[in-house]
Amino acid sequence: MTSQSVPILIVETLTKRFGGLIAVDQMSFDVREHEVMGIIGPNGSGKSTTMNLISGALKATSGTIRLKERELTAMPAHKIARLGIARTFQLVRVLPDLTAIENVVAGAAFAHKPRWGAEARAFAVALLERLDLGGKQDLPVGSLTYIDQKRLELARALASEPEVLLLDEWLAGLNPSELKIGIDLIASLRDEGRTVILVEHVMDAIRSLCDRCVVMNSGRKIAEGTPAAVLSDREVIRAYLGDG
């Protein structure tokens, strides 16, 4: 399904400096509608920074990010969210003072396709059921297990019916059995035709989930293509194993 889709998110020569450090250097790639796109690379290669630039958590030093025809580069995070980009965080961030269902409603109430009141609740209940959190909707989030918190965060992101979903190491920290559940969940999102950008370390997930991948090292894109292709790329292997 990849080839015939149009690009929905276009990143061009994106650069982010922190003082003298260049975290993201001249990154360019695009994401097509209904595809799952992976961003991989060693630790500190700039993957999360790229995500933060797209979601508006950080401001780019130069370069552009466009969603369809809208330029996102200088926008504050809440406007980007309203245009339809939703995300999860590298370290899970649920809202500790709210119940599970309120967490999901939080995702629905303000963003891309706002829902409020009974409609939002019904929508949130359905999402929780969909993510196997049915029956836990009124629990304080502190009492949820780690994977349930991850699910809840995903539900919050999905609640806005995003155009593009950013998953920042969503699978990190799960044990093997949870990991399988997690991968199946993302696979089901893909099957629904959602557009997803996935930052991951878990290579099994990349192989089984991604249509295409971008590989980063030291802030630069060093490879792009299908998972099978990039993972056999010599430069990619060197980047992962080191120069020695």
Partner 1 sequence: MSRGEAIGLMLAIIVVAVAAVLPLILDGYWLSVALTAMMYVALATSWTLFSGPTRYLSLATGAFFGIGGYLVGLGMSDYGLSFWLMAAIAPVVATALALLIGLATLRLSGVYFVIFTLGLAEMIRNLVSWIQNNFLGSRGLYVLTDFTDADIYWMLLAVSVAIFALGWWINRSRLGFALRIIGSDEEVAKHVGIDTAWSKVVLFMVTGFFAALIGALVAPRYSYIEPNVVFSPELSFIVVVMALLGGIHRLWGPLVGVIPFTLIWEGITISFPNYTTLFLGFSFLLIVYFLPHGVVGLMQSLVRRVGR
The binding site for partner 1 (CB under 8 A) comprises 55-57, 76-79, 81-82, 86-87, 89, 93, 95-98, 102, 105-107, 109-112, 114, 116, 156, 160
- What Å distances lie between residue 96 and 26, 143, 144, 225, CA to CA? 37, 10, 11, 39
Q: Which is nearer to partner 1, 57 or 125 (CB)?
A: 57
| Residue showing tokens 């996935």 | 198
| Exposed / middle / buried, residue 68 (Cβ in 10 Å: 0-12, 13-18, 19+) | middle
To the nearest 10 degrees (0 to 180), the angle between helices 146-158 and 100-109 is 20
Q: Which is nearer to partner 1, 102 or 211 (CB)?
A: 102
Q: Is 28 helix (H, G, I), strand (E, B) or coil?
A: strand
Nearest-approach distance from CB 217 to partner 1, in angstroms: 27
Contacts of 84 (CB under 8 A, 6+ apart): 67, 111, 112, 160, 161, 162, 163, 164
Q: Which is nearer to partner 1, 98 or 179 (CB)?
A: 98
Nearest-approach distance from CB 230 to partner 1, in angstroms: 29
- What Å distances lie between residue 1 and 32, 228, 231, CA to CA? 10, 17, 21
Q: Which is nearer to partner 1, 54 or 183 (CB)?
A: 54
Q: Which is nearer to partner 1, 104 or 206 (CB)?
A: 104
Residue 194 tokens read as: 């959602």
Nearest-approach distance from CB 115 to partner 1, in angstroms: 10
